[in-house]
Chains A and B, each alone.
Chain A
């Protein structure tokens, strides 16, 4: 199975800060990467698919980039509703696998 490693495991930031989350694959996954936000009590939400495509309705402050084995999700200006845990997920090979998550909270 392809292993996905996220860093940091958690971070604290202030409203308005730029936040970057990294996801590393243990083998080349080309651009086959998606990003999700999970907030307690809510259904997980797809943010970015195919490395850099914003899902419909996702604010433009979110962006995804990277290629090969190294990917990033950036929130250009953190809003209070952005708090939660973020997961990357590869789909280069089955089984689909997720990173361990990055928890974002307010400083």
Chain B
């Protein structure tokens, strides 16, 4: 059973950088896409972007200038950085695995998040 666990500071000062790590246990980084998703207080889910095992990333365009993701396959973990944070970045941050099916050499991506971490609350405040 694959489990994800987010870790990182719960409090970040405005204008500083938010850094989170997601540790993958019970399975490998493999061929999946690994996403970061957040939920601001009282709001819905917002997809931030994803990364794959080779480090290829895709970010939501409105966050692209401030977001970066990285992967460390040797540690089976991936990370998120958000620079120049403001109060609007206060949210519960989730890491999640994308659902795939593998048939021989063919991989079908569903862009559905089938395994999620519990989420970590990040507050931006001085």
Contacts and interface: CB of A to CB of B under 8 A. Distances in A.
A89 B112 contact: yes
A50 interface: yes
State the main secondary structure of chain B at its contact with A: strand
Interface residues of B, number: 22
Interface residues of A, number: 24
Interface stretch (B9-17, B44-52, B81-89): B44-52
Summarize A's interface: helix, strand, loop or mixed: loop
A100 B112 contact: no
Interface of A: 1, 32, 34, 36, 38, 42-46, 49-50, 55, 87, 89, 91, 94-101
8 contacts: A42-B118, A43-B117, A44-B96, A49-B99, A50-B112, A55-B114, A91-B111, A95-B60
Given A55-B114, A91-B110, A91-B112, 17 more contacts: A1-B61, A36-B113, A42-B118, A44-B45, A44-B96, A44-B116, A45-B116, A46-B112, A46-B113, A46-B114, A55-B99, A87-B45, A89-B47, A89-B112, A95-B60, A95-B61, A98-B44
